[in-house]
Chain A
Amino acid sequence: QSVLTQTPSASGTPGQRVTISCSGSSSNIGSNTVNWYQQLPGTAPKLLIYTNNQRPSGVPDRFSGSKSGTSASLAISGLRSEDEADYYCAAWDDSLNGHVVFGGGTKLTVL
């Protein structure tokens, strides 16, 4: 059972806009920033969004993040076949002397 809650799966067709949600609590998302990772099959995770809505160099602006209260979202616009991957949200949690918590992951399928 992950501390951050994500819907297990999502899907969309090429060109479509999809949103992946991440729900937490006051001790994590509610008081800290959210990061998102993309994990393509058989590869290490890649940082996609940090500090709620910032993109590392090289990440297309089709990917965007937002946060409101104890929830966060990752939006992917202009969906492409190469976006098919697992997506994870993560945040620092202030409880128990502080620790990093991850969501369970959302598998995105491009139909």
Chain B
Amino acid sequence: QVQLQVSGPGLVKPSETLSLTCTVSGFSISSGYYWGWIRQPPGKGLEWIGSLYHSGTTYYNPSLKSRVTISVDTSKNQFSLKLSSVTAADTALYYCARVRDSSAAFDIWGQGTMVTVSS
């Protein structure tokens, strides 16, 4: 059974870099699939942040592209998100998920972690 677990600080100061890690269990990232990050501000809808393939190919949300880096560590079976120069607008529940196939459907989701940007 494939499971995803997000970890990282729940509080980040404005202008600093938000860093989260998604650990995958029950499946080897290097075996394939795209993997992605999605966020949800409190009381609002879903926003795609970006996705990557195990080889390192990445796609980013155009509105966040200048601040986002998604990377993979196949040795740890993890992929990570870094979002720089954060503001209060980046306060959200952050999810990691597996992309099912070329449909870009996220079929397995982690539980999500709340990140608050505040001094």
Residues of chain A touching chain B, judged by Cβ–Cβ distance below 8 Å, are: 2, 32-33, 35, 37, 39, 44-47, 50-51, 56, 86, 88, 90-92, 96-105
Contact = CB atoms under 8 A, between A and B. Distances in A.
B51 A100 contact: yes
A1 B47 CA distance: 11
B95 A56 contact: no
Given A44-B111, A45-B95, A50-B100, A99 B105 contact: no
A47 B107 contact: yes
16 contacts: A33-B104, A35-B103, A37-B46, A44-B111, A45-B38, A45-B46, A47-B107, A50-B100, A88-B45, A90-B105, A97-B59, A97-B62, A100-B36, A101-B48, A104-B45, A105-B45
Contact of B46 (A46, A99, A102): A102
Interface string B27-49: 00000000010100000011110
Nearest to B47: A102
A99 B60 contact: yes
Interface of B: 36, 38, 45-48, 51, 59-62, 95, 100, 103-107, 109-112
Contact of B95 (A44, A97, A98, A104): A44
B100 A105 contact: no
B45 A47 contact: no
A45 to B, nearest CB: 6
B46 A105 contact: yes
Given A47-B106, A91-B104, A96 B45 contact: no
A42 B67 CA distance: 28
B45 to A, nearest CB: 4
Nearest to A44: B109
A33 B101 CA distance: 11
Contact of B45 (A35, A91, A100, A102): A102
Nearest to B64: A99
Given A96-B62, A101-B48, 18 more contacts: A33-B103, A35-B103, A37-B46, A46-B109, A50-B103, A56-B107, A86-B45, A90-B46, A91-B104, A92-B103, A99-B48, A99-B62, A100-B48, A100-B61, A100-B104, A102-B47, A102-B48, A105-B46
